[in-house]
Structure 1
Amino acid sequence: MVSMLTLLILVIVVALVFDYINGFHDAANAIATVVSTGVLPVRTAVILAGILNFIGAITGTAVAKTIASGFAEPMLVTQVVVLAALIGACIWNLLTWWYGIPSSSSHALIGGLAGAVVAHAGISAFNWGTLTDKVLIPLVLSPLAGFTIAFLFMIALLWLVRAFKPVTVQRGSRRLQLISACMMAFSHGSNDAQKAMGIITLALVSFVTAGYTGVPESMLPVGKEVPTWVVFSCAAAIGLGTMAGGKRIIKTMGAKIIRITPLQGFAAETAGTATILTASAMGVPVSTTHCISACIMGVGASKRLSAVRWGVAGNIVLAWVLTIPASAGFAFLSLLGLRAIFGDNA
């Protein structure tokens, strides 16, 4: 019989693996435009993004607290439930990464948690109100906000630089894009790394609530606070994952939606950063993928609607819609498999 402490350790390891996958899956969010415009080579860009992901990840825990306590009561969540949620999210992330589709790691994790909780304790055990308020409404509003901000910001930039020579605009916008790419990487870390922090904290709280022992008190959450070791472990995992790259999705984000210029890249990344940092401060686990994809569409549409390859954009939106139910389905099946393996521990 596998001990609950062993299961907890397994959950933590898989959560960090998910965070690592999240890093290389979402690396394109921060660096696709800066690579596609030639401002930085891929290797330099991913290293810089990884460092800034780490810094962003240690700046707050509001989103982690939402994940840890907002979607299900810890007493209803076992270690196997958390493990199934992570497996479901990882499967969807790897599938979409393989096909170069920029889907949401955040929504994959939340969908996985929903599927695992429902499989374990029934439909009523999951907090659907939190899903609506913190996920589904932002799922619609955050891309719309990013698209609108990017569209208007791009128009304002074009008006401001209209009197400058094209070569001057090109040189200046390349420098500005380097700054905006760094801000985007920082904001990505500030939101996405917290998802794994929240799931590990949920596992720790569940472990303690169930009356199990074996974990040093200094490593356990105090109230709703995320332990410091969890923050730094997840920050390191997503940073290293980002440094591993994600060239398949970089190609989609940086070239297939529109042929992007440095000025457009600066506008898209600045708008995306503003949207994501606002959500992080509010504790809302938005999709950085959705935000930056919408921002890229926004700057493209500011030129002309036909500049955006709406067929590619439609495929991305379809992935947005499918992510939560697909990852929930994978997690549901994973729980059934894990229950067969672990028996009463599930």
Structure 2
Amino acid sequence: MTISFSNFLGQVITNPGLAITVFLTLGVIFVNGWTDAPNAIATTVTTRTMRPKTAIVMSAIFNFFGVLIMTQINSSVASTISNMVDFGSDSRHAMIALSAALFSIVVYSVGASYFGIPTSESHSLIAGLTGAAIAMQNGLKGVNGTEWIKVIYGLFLSLFLGFVLGWLVCKLVILICRNFERKRTNKYISYAQILGSAAMSFMHGAQDGQKFIGVLLLGIAFANGHSDLVNTFIPIWLMMICSTVMGVGTSVGGEKIIKAVGMDMVKLEKYQGFASDLAGALCILISTLTGVPISTTHTKTSAIMGVGAVRRLSSINLSVVKDMMLTWVFTFPGCGIISYIMAKIFMAFF
């Protein structure tokens, strides 16, 4: 299935279901850029390498290019998301259930960000789609286990690999710079940290942008009477829309998130900030190329913990880590239940 931008615009105008789906998806993308993207620049800001406004603009730009460039190179994450659930053969009801899932994600994500708690938009999206699919199919037959297992792989990659890479990269930086003069080294590390944050922002766009592209493709397929995305191609204009909205969301900022991730969890020096950014970007690159949906929040915070553990485990504020973990644990059942209920309500009234 292929569709031009003019045909898409015409369908949005004439199809209320698609219009609502597009509006909600773009809303989720905006919230993602607002709440998740600040994780990429948190360490750069808190180590005073960059001013907050400058860092946010930089992050918005690299999020934009991350979506645009990486989706053309490898779109396997988008395929994983779109194939993870089965909304059935009734495309009209499928569109309604998809709208309910997206509405639930926005409600859950905005609520969490209001309290300054880093939330995983990836897990909210997966939970929302899963809850709606279960409601639509009245059981687990609406869930594709083969694709859903990649979520478990993503948890492992973000938690374990993020921590290990953070520890290893930090150790390597210390080893390379052990005989260097500290003042001069900090100058170069500052430039490296800016590059690390740019890479982290780029990979955030590449990973999370693809997830929402997959959702928009589902909406377009349902609007055209298709129940799946077989032989569907991702058009350039769709990448442009997603990357632009995410960039605008990032530009709004997220100072509470920056503080929670970059300051409250562990106090970082410049070289540690660089190590966590580079480790996080590498972890997300690996998962994106293998089609595994991963949480950028999980990855960045795990990398920070790995960096902090190089010096001593006690340098990590475990109470903050505990709060984050509880939030992540509740995301799947919490957002999933909200989505299930909203899907039932939407299908009853529409």
Identity, in percent, stands at 32
Residue 221 of structure 1: how far off its partner (Å): 7.2
Any residues of structure 2 matched to 1:135-154 within 5 Å, and which?
135-154=151-170
* Counterpart in the other structure of 2:6: none
* Counterpart in the other structure of 1:113: 129
In the alignment, the residues of structure 1 paired with residue 88 and residue 183 of structure 2 have an alpha-carbon distance, to the nearest angstrom, of 58
Could you tell me which runs of 5 or more consecutive residues in structure 1 were left unpaired when the two chains were aligned: 212-219
- Do structure 1's residue 334 and structure 2's residue 348 form an aligned pair? no
Any residues of structure 2 matched to 1:258-277 within 5 Å, and which?
258-277=266-285
Is the contact made by 2:157 and 2:283 (CA closer than 8 Å) also made in structure 1?
no
* Counterpart in the other structure of 1:216: none
Any residues of structure 2 matched to 1:1-346 within 5 Å, and which?
5-58=15-68, 59-60=70-71, 61-72=75-86, 75=89, 78-130=94-146, 132-209=148-225, 223-342=231-350
In structure 2, the CA distance between the partners of 1:71 and 1:185, relative to structure 1 (3 Å rule), is same
In the alignment, the residues of structure 1 paired with residue 211 and residue 109 of structure 2 have an alpha-carbon distance, to the nearest angstrom, of 14
* C-alpha RMSD of the superposition: 1.9
Residue 19 of structure 1: how far off its partner (Å): 0.2
In the alignment, the residues of structure 2 paired with residue 72 and residue 236 of structure 1 have an alpha-carbon distance, to the nearest angstrom, of 29
In the alignment, the residues of structure 2 paired with residue 210 and residue 29 of structure 1 have an alpha-carbon distance, to the nearest angstrom, of 37
When the two structures are aligned, how many residues end up with a matched partner?
332
In the alignment, the residues of structure 1 paired with residue 122 and residue 88 of structure 2 have an alpha-carbon distance, to the nearest angstrom, of 20
Write out per-residue CA displacement over residues 27-82 of structure 1, whole angstroms, 9 at most, x where no aligned residue.
22211001101111111111110010000001212211111223225636611111
In the alignment, the residues of structure 1 paired with residue 37 and residue 82 of structure 2 have an alpha-carbon distance, to the nearest angstrom, of 25
Write out per-residue CA displacement over residues 256-276 of structure 1, whole angstroms, 9 at most, x where no aligned residue.
010111100100000000010
In the alignment, the residues of structure 2 paired with residue 164 and residue 126 of structure 1 have an alpha-carbon distance, to the nearest angstrom, of 58
Residue 140 of structure 1: how far off its partner (Å): 2.5
In structure 2, the CA distance between the partners of 1:292 and 1:308, relative to structure 1 (3 Å rule), is same
Q: Which amino acid aligns with 1:52?
A: F
In the alignment, the residues of structure 2 paired with residue 155 and residue 210 of structure 1 have an alpha-carbon distance, to the nearest angstrom, of 51
Is the contact made by 1:65 and 1:224 (CA closer than 8 Å) also made in structure 2?
no
In the alignment, the residues of structure 1 paired with residue 143 and residue 102 of structure 2 have an alpha-carbon distance, to the nearest angstrom, of 18
In structure 2, the CA distance between the partners of 1:311 and 1:76, relative to structure 1 (3 Å rule), is farther
In the alignment, the residues of structure 1 paired with residue 216 and residue 257 of structure 2 have an alpha-carbon distance, to the nearest angstrom, of 27
In structure 2, the CA distance between the partners of 1:198 and 1:306, relative to structure 1 (3 Å rule), is same
Is the contact made by 1:74 and 1:205 (CA closer than 8 Å) also made in structure 2?
no
Is the contact made by 1:257 and 1:313 (CA closer than 8 Å) also made in structure 2?
yes
In the alignment, the residues of structure 1 paired with residue 289 and residue 322 of structure 2 have an alpha-carbon distance, to the nearest angstrom, of 30
Write out per-residue CA displacement over residues 128-162 of structure 1, whole angstroms, 9 at most, x where no aligned residue.
51454210232123221010011011112112111
Write out per-residue CA displacement over residues 302-345 of structure 1, whole angstroms, 9 at most, x where no aligned residue.
11000101111111111121111111111112113323431xxx
Is the contact made by 2:134 and 2:340 (CA closer than 8 Å) also made in structure 1?
yes
Q: Which runs of 4+ in 1 moved over 4 A?
A: none
* Counterpart in the other structure of 1:215: none
TM-score (normalizing by structure 1): 0.91
In the alignment, the residues of structure 2 paired with residue 278 and residue 164 of structure 1 have an alpha-carbon distance, to the nearest angstrom, of 32
* Counterpart in the other structure of 2:5: none
Is the contact made by 2:84 and 2:148 (CA closer than 8 Å) also made in structure 1?
no
TM-score (normalizing by structure 2): 0.90
Is the contact made by 2:153 and 2:292 (CA closer than 8 Å) also made in structure 1?
no
Q: Which amino acid aligns with 1:31?
A: I
Is the contact made by 1:221 and 1:227 (CA closer than 8 Å) also made in structure 2?
no
Could you tell me which runs of 5 or more consecutive residues in structure 2 were left unpaired when the two chains were aligned: 1-12
